[in-house]
Amino acid sequence: MSDYVIETKRLTKNYGEQTAVNAVNVHVEKGRIYGLLGRNGAGKTTIMKMILGLTPITSGEVDVFGQNIKGREKRVYPRIGAIIETPGFYPNLTGTENLEIFARLRGTAAPNAVKNALDIVGLPYRDKKLFSKYSLGMKQRLGIANAILHDPELLILDEPTNGLDPIGIAEVRDFIKDLSTEHGKTILISSHILSEIALLADDIGIIDHGVLLEENSMETLKRKNSKYILLQVSDIPKTSLVLERQFGVTDYSVQDDHSLRIYNTSLDMAAVNKALVVQDVAVISSQLCNDTLEDYFKKITGGEGIA
Amino acid sequence: MNVNLFLLIAFCIALLFILFLVTKLRRVRGQLSIIEEALEDIKTGNPNRRVLTRKSDMTKRICYAVNEIAVKNQSQLISQKQSEQAYKRLMTSLSHDVKTPLASLVGYLEAATTGLVAGDEKEAYLHVAVEKAYHLKNFVETLFEWVKLDAKEQIFHFEICDLNELTRNIVAEWVPTLERNHFEYDFDIPEDEYFLRIDLHSYTRILNNLLQNTLMHSGGNKLTLKLLENEQQVKIIISDNGKGISPSDIPHIFERMYQCDRSRSALGNGLGLSITQELVNAHNGKIKADSKPGTGTVFTVLFPKAL
Amino acid sequence: MLKLTQTEFLKLRRRKFILLMLLAALLMPFLAIFYFRDIRETGIDTIQFYKWTAFSYTPWIILPVVLGVFSTMLMYDEHQNDMLKQLWIVPISKTKYFFSKFIVVLSYSICFMLLTAGLSVIFGTLPGYITFEWSSFCYLLKKCMEIAILTSFAILPLLAVAAAGKSYIFPVCLTLVYTFLGFILLMVNMYLHPLSSMTAIVMRDIPGVVLTQTLNIPAAFICIAIWCAGSVVLAILALGKRK
């Protein structure tokens, strides 16, 4: 039994001629939050469906809790809670009645699980409102309540903050973080919103056009982002001359008429400043900068931004 | 003919009944095997495992109990991990707090003894060294006091005292310091006697800490101290007109090592308010802080009359 | 399985239309009042009365249509809201899911026919057309149960189609087509269409019924069985195919 709660090996999904997911190797470690980041249509939901066994796999393998789900459904599914796409419920029943049905079908871990789940997501217990009258935010919350109803070890959440207002998004984010740190749950969450993943995930997998471009821990990613010194000067050519002749710096790039980036961050900027002043170049500003995660994402997906 | 039919029906009913019992037995057996698997998992260190049960199952109570044990186990593990982390953080910051003044002290003393400075300057250096030594002594003493409180090893001697008389004595000693720091003061201590069971040393410490805190950190120039009582409790209110504490800091000021003014300034240590809170709690009392940034801060300490 | 069926019934809460459809059981007994008005003087045979109210158009047209619409309604909710994937990960097996739906249809069918039986008796005895006899009443009940159970099985193909599709309209239209096809094929060959086979089985021992073809009960059962098996396979494959 490996330490990975979810491990996929060359997971592929083809719809006829089209490849939706191409040889993806995802590794979700126990007790951590794994963020699957990608634009809409990149293949995140398809991957999650294949992990859950909802969509047949064209080729490759998925192991959950160290084994294949097929054939062990009754043992494995109760340990997983999931939201895939928009959660649907019975419109002629109230939120509580809906959850009671699922509680009856699955079983629960504690006697008043339905009440607890509703309290956690902030929905009223035994309320008279029918599901058909729920707002989008309430529907999403009920979906989350259903996913945590049986206190599962693994949560697979497909865009859980979809349709929520900013306060709701922050609440769900705090709640997911809490599940991981206070309760040690393993969480696989997908999103196309970079900022959300950056705040939540411990590990991140970047998907684009069905290909897993990179899989790394957030710390590594943050460290990896190039640091550079942004120098704004009055005379770019003279500056580049000074850098190359006097300091032997070749690792720099000119951004525009007045600014350039020096990638050698161990350079002695005091000396550089002095040298430039001697050459009659005015230094407007000099600061240490970091590539944001967004820039990094743009770089590895080939230039386009995030939806 | 009728008897045969009757027998046939009776036979069918008996068969159905047996079928029902057999299914129930198989179901219970299945559930027991799941419980066994889950228990094994929990034993090998996965406290996140749950056993799901329905309200009508025979094994319901066992399942709920197993889950409760797992939850307790898990929260113990997690709080252990958290306090280990908190302890590590504390140790790191404390080592800085001791190393920094010590390094500086050594610096000054070395300068004075190796003849780097002479005469008046040498005198001045020695004075600074003495002050730093006192500061360090203070810090180490406070630290040990705090550690004793935290480990619940502090011994209190509760005796009945007149709080007002005690307070008057304590604040009287503060007058010179307040005047020296150009602090206006207004002490509103009633003439009658408020008898209360308290530990003398602790109460002195509490008042001293709060007054010290106001003097050092409020940034104001007026201090008010007022004592009130009602049927159940005695209230001590210490307020100032300083720069106040922002709403985001207020919940944390009583935490150990928390300092609002992020520059670890030489005079404060983060333990004063934390110690104060522990001491107040030992008396079954409550302490809280209210503040409006720019206007001032009010500390309220409540001691219940019945201990 | 039992739990699944229980929840199926819970899901029917507040669906008033389903209760309203039961009123269709009122139709034939009510019309009987007018139909038999002219011949009441000559005395009406109880069995003949029941034959008209409960064994004629009811099993041929009314009950199949009602059950077809009911089946569509049962399947519609979950398909409309894309709830099926939430059910699969409980886990619930697709076979058990389909069968629990069938049990609900069966129960509804039995309720409907019991209501028909009751109303037949009431609308027969109150205006004084017939007298209440235990033997004929037992016969009525027996026949109504047969009709209820067999029709549910005969409707299984429609349940399968409802399970496979997403829309409302197609299964309902198919219900009407299916029912009338069954009715028409009754004259041609009773063993091709499940509804016709059902009619054959029910009609086997009703006095006063003339059959144009030879009665072959086993063939009728086989016909129904084949259609049912096919529908079950179709349904489970279709449920699996949904993305």
What are the pLDDT digits (tens) for A42-61?
Answer: 889 999 999 998 888 999 99
Residues in chain A: 307
User: Which of C80, C81, C89 lies at the smallest CB-CB distance from A52?
Assistant: C89
CB contact, 8 Å: B91 with chain A?
Answer: no
Q: How confident is the model at residue B250 (pLDDT cuts 50, 70, 90)?
A: confident
- Which of B34, B64, B77 minimises the CB distance to A111? B64
What is the dihedral angle through the alpha carbons of C181, C186, C192, C197, rounded to the nearest 10 degrees? 110
A67-81, B285-299, C19-33, C146-160: least confidently modelled range: C19-33
Beta carbons of A88 and C3 less than 8 Å apart: no
Residue B112 has pLDDT above 90, yes or no: no
Convert chain A into a string of H (helix), E (strand) and C (coil): CCCEEEEEEEEEEEECCEEEEEEECCEEECCCEEEEEECCCCCHHHHHHHHHCCCCCCEEEEEECCECCCCCHHHHHHHEEEECCCCCCCCCCEHHHHHHHHHHHHCECCCCHHHHHHHHHCCCCCCCCEHHHCCHHHHHHHHHHHHHCCCCCEEEEECCCCCCCHHHHHHHHHHHHHHHHCCCCEEEEEECCHHHHHHHCCEEEEEECCEEEEEEEHHHHHHHCCEEEEEEECCHHHHHHHHHHHHCCCCEEECCCCEEEECCCCCCHHHHHHHHHHCCCCEEEEEEEECCHHHHHHHHCCCCCCC
Query: What Rg do the C-alpha atoms of chain B give, in angstroms?
Result: 33
Q: Do A150 and B52 touch (CB under 8 A)?
A: yes
pLDDT at residue A110 is higher than 50: yes
On the question of pLDDT at A251 being above 90, the answer is no
- Cβ contact (<8 Å) for A105 and C4? yes
Whether residue C49 contacts residue C140, with contact meaning beta carbons closer than 8 Å, is answered with no
ipTM, interface predicted TM-score of the complex:
0.84
Burial class (CB in 10 A: 0-12, 13-18, 19+), B79: exposed
> What pTM value is reported for the model?
0.72
Half-sphere exposure of B288 (CA within 13 A, CB side): 7
pLDDT for res B265: 45
pLDDT tens for each residue of C65-87: 999 999 998 888 888 777 888 89
**Tens of pLDDT along B162-178?**
888 888 888 888 888 88
For residue C7, the chain A residues in CB contact (below 8 A) are 101, 104-105
CA distance A83 to chain C (A): 8
Contact C131, C46 (CB under 8 A): yes
Residue A105 CB contacts under 8 Å (≥ 6 apart), including other chains: C3, C4, C7, C87, C90, C92
Measure the CA dihedral B78/B82/B84/B89, to 10°: 160
CB contact under 8 Å between A104 and C89, yes or no, is no
Q: Which residues of C172-204 are buried (b: 16+ CB within 10 A; e: fewer)?
A: bebbeebbeebbebbeeebbebbbbbbbbbbbe
Q: Report CA C227 to chain centroid distance, whole Å.
A: 15
Neighbours of chain B (3+ CB pairs under 8 A): A
**Contact A111/B48, CB-based, under 8 Å?**
no
Find chain C residues with C-beta within 8 A of A80's C-beta: 89
- The answer to whether A146 faces chain B, any CB pair under 8 Å, is no
User: CB-CB: which of A73, A92, A100 is closest to C14?
Assistant: A92
Q: Is A86 on the interface with C (CB under 8 A)?
A: yes
Task: Please check the confidence at residue C54 and state whether its pLDDT lies above 90.
Answer: no
Instruction: Say if the Cβ atoms of C11 and A54 lie within 8 Å.
Output: no
Whole-number mean pLDDT of chain B? 83
Which site among A1, A4, A72, A79 would you substitute to test the B interface, given the most B Cβ atoms closer than 10 Å to its Cβ? A79
Q: Specify whether the CB–CB gap between B265 and B196 falls below 8 A.
A: no
Q: How many CB atoms lie within 10 A of CB B18?
A: 10
Residue type, C174: L
Whether pLDDT at B262 is above 70 = no
Highest mean pLDDT among B32-36, C27-31, C125-129: B32-36
Task: Say if CB C4 and CB C96 are below 8 A apart.
Answer: yes
- pLDDT tier, B1 (very low <50, low <70, confident <90, very high otherwise): low
User: Nearest CB to A90: which of C77, C90, C91?
Assistant: C77
> In 3D, which of A195, A171, A155, A168 has the Cα closest to residue A297?
A195
Q: In this structure, which amino acid lies at residue C68? A: G
Strands A227-233 and A259-262: antiparallel
* Residues of C with Cβ-Cβ distance to A91 under 8 angstroms: 77, 81
A66 has a chain B CB within 8 A of its CB: no
Tell me whether the omega of the peptide bond preceding residue A160 falls within 30 degrees of 0, making it cis: no
Confidence of residue A71 (pLDDT cuts 50, 70, 90): confident
